[in-house]
Amino acid sequence: MAEGTIKRLTDKGFGFIDTGTSKDLFFHSSNVEEVRFDELREGQQVTYVEGMGPKGPRAEQVRPV
């Protein structure tokens, strides 16, 4: 699993993870595990698996560290 930092969260149920590269990775609330989406905070460390969604790369199995 890769690690990153939550860069941005929206009130529409999705967010973006700073992966440490030039590209941020999208994630949807349905891909959050172990906690509810509304428990996540910007700046929080998470682990994730990079997957492919209908619109391109996305983070799956997103979990707080």
Each residue's pLDDT tens digit, 1-56: 999 999 999 999 999 999 999 999 999 999 999 999 999 999 999 999 999 999 99
The enclosing domain of 22 has a CATH number of 2.40.50.140
pLDDT at res. 50: 96
Cα-trace Rg, the chain: 10
Residue 17 and residue 9 in contact, taking contact as beta carbons nearer than 8 Å: no
What pTM value is reported for the model? 0.93
- pLDDT at residue 20, rounded to an integer: 93
- Rounded Cα distance, 29 and 22, in Å: 23
38 Cβ contact partners less than 8 Å away, ≥ 6 residues apart: none
CA–CA separation, 46 and 34 (whole Å): 11
Q: How many domains does the chain have?
A: 1
Domain region containing 29? 2-64
